[in-house]
């Protein structure tokens, strides 16, 4: 209901946290984070992956932890 209405209006809903996020902003932020993860793997192919907390502190400073999880979903 809320998630569907938000999506239809161009937003991403995180109703359990009472947040609505701009789809454009989410797409842009997710693209930046995805590019950073790809670059991490390019530079460090033997490492299992980038740490979520490092990604969040670099690309989403001062944001609650759920925001990164919402973008990665």
> pLDDT for 57-69, tens place per residue?
999 999 998 999 9
Please check the confidence at residue 71 and state whether its pLDDT lies above 80.
Answer: yes
Mean pLDDT over 1-19 rounds to 83
CA distance 25 to 4: 18
pLDDT at 3: 76
Confirm if 56 and 63 have CB atoms less than 8 A apart: yes
pTM over the 0.75 mark: yes
Tally DSSP H helices, then E strands, for the chain: 4, 2
- Give the model's confidence band at 1: pLDDT under 50 very low, under 70 low, under 90 confident, else very high: confident
Q: Could you tell me the sign of the dihedral formed by the alpha carbons of 46, 53, 57, 25, in that order? A: positive
The structure tokens listed for 28 are: 């842009």
């Amino acid at each position: 209901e809320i998630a569907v209405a938000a999506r239809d209006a161009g937003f991403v809903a995180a109703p359990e946290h009472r947040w609505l996020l701009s789809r454009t902003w989410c797409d842009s932020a997710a693209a930046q984070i995805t590019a950073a993860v790809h670059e991490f793997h390019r530079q460090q192919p033997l490492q299992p992956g980038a740490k979520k907390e490092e990604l969040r502190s670099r690309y989403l400073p001062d944001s609650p932890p759920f925001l990164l999880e919402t973008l990665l979903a």
